[in-house]
Structure 1
Amino acid sequence: MIENFYSPTYEVTPLTMAVIPHQDEGGRSGARVLEEQEEYSVHSSPSKMIDRACKFFGSSLRGRQDGTRGICGITHKAPISIDPGSGMYFFPTTSPTNPKCSWIAHSHIDQVNQGPGRRTEIIFKNQTSILLDVSFGSMLNQVQRTAQYRYLLDNRIKGLQNQSSDKVAEPFA
């Protein structure tokens, strides 16, 4: 994995596993982006990066949070779908307004383990791991809430696709 590569124009993609807060050597706040094969440093906060990714797909972080509330009633630390078509479901580790908030991609998680103290280790499917200052119980709750939201949204989308396939117009003769 490439480390400490600075990218001024990074976009969150289906390969993104986590966006975590980071301070560079000069003390400037930004984010560390973990992907399946690479790692980037950027000068935006994790929540700003997630908001920008939501805007790329036609919404905003606030819009995605409102959508989550409407689908399953989750109001605090709401998981979001940046793009359900490509499986980009992320959840925050704390309030997204907290500068210590990290965003984790649900589909990349392999294991969640109790870490030392009140910390939690996340092991991703590529066997990369991170240790976060979040309690194990809170992290498990976020993973489960994201799974519930993902299930409900995916079922809605499938239901609409099934309805629309029944209403296909006949071609002109």
Structure 2
Amino acid sequence: MTEIILDHYEINKATSALLPAYHNDYQTTVWEEDQRYYVKKTPLQLIKEACLEGGADYNGRRAAVTHKTGVNSKVPIPVLPHEQIYAFPTHSPKLYECHWLFYHHIKSIHRHPDAPSHTIITFIDSKELLLHVSYYTIEKQLQRTSYCMTRFTHYPSFS
């Protein structure tokens, strides 16, 4: 498979994960349903740019989620809420090893059978990602993101 290295990448409905890359030519590996891209910007830079494209800055979205949910750390982000694109970090976004996973692409999570500190993420396209993050942490992040989505979905009012 040819490496496609991009200066810029726009998060979209096909984006399933942003992985930090330990490479000289790029800083992020983007997983899409049927494609991999390699981007010169960091995962957090891509998240911040997508938030701005969606009409608000990252810090504003983060503050709104904290206000509505009470979550203060590893805050899920409504990246493009009008398109139902929500992402959550696996670690503090300040840490280099932070991966960003996109909620609607996750099919299941499983404990690694031999390493309790690892979790296997299965995406809806059946691809798997092994993360050095506990099952509990990923499960908690999924629950937080689900709650965040509920709080940011606008239902018609019944009056």
Whose helix proportion is higher, 1 or 2?
A: 1
TM-score (norm 2): 0.92
The residue aligned with 1:41 is: 38
C-alpha separation in 2, matches of 1:145 and 1:85: 19
C-alpha separation in 1, matches of 2:91 and 2:101: 11
The residue aligned with 1:146 is: 145
C-alpha separation in 2, matches of 1:91 and 1:139: 9
TM-score (norm 1): 0.85
> CA separation of 1:3/1:32 partners in 2, compared to 1, >3 Å: closer, same or farther?
farther
Aligned residues: 157
Aligned pair partner of 1:108 in 105, 109, 116: 105
**Aligned-partner SS, 2:78:** strand
Matches for 1:146-165 after TM superposition, within 5 Å: 146-154=145-153, 157-159=154-156, 162=157
Q: Kindly indicate whether residue 57 of structure 2 is the aligned counterpart of residue 80 of structure 1.
A: no
Q: For residue 41 of structure 2, what is the amino acid of its counterpart?
A: S
Matches for 1:1-173 after TM superposition, within 5 Å: 4-24=3-23, 26=24, 30-115=27-112, 116-117=114-115, 118-154=117-153, 157-159=154-156, 162=157
- C-alpha RMSD over aligned residues: 1.6
**Unaligned residue ranges in structure 1 (runs of 5+):** 167-173
Deviations 1:130-166 (A, max 9, x none): 1111111101110111111111211xx114xx47xx8
Q: Which runs of 4+ in 1 moved over 3 A?
A: none
Deviates more, 1:92-101 or 1:52-61: 52-61
Larger Rg: 1
Whether the 8 Å CA contact 1:3–1:40 is kept in 2: the answer is no
Whether the 8 Å CA contact 1:21–1:29 is kept in 2: the answer is no
**Aligned-partner SS, 1:53:** helix
Deviations 1:34-58 (A, max 9, x none): 0011110111111111011111112
C-alpha separation in 2, matches of 1:3 and 1:141: 36
**Unaligned residue ranges in structure 2 (runs of 5+):** none
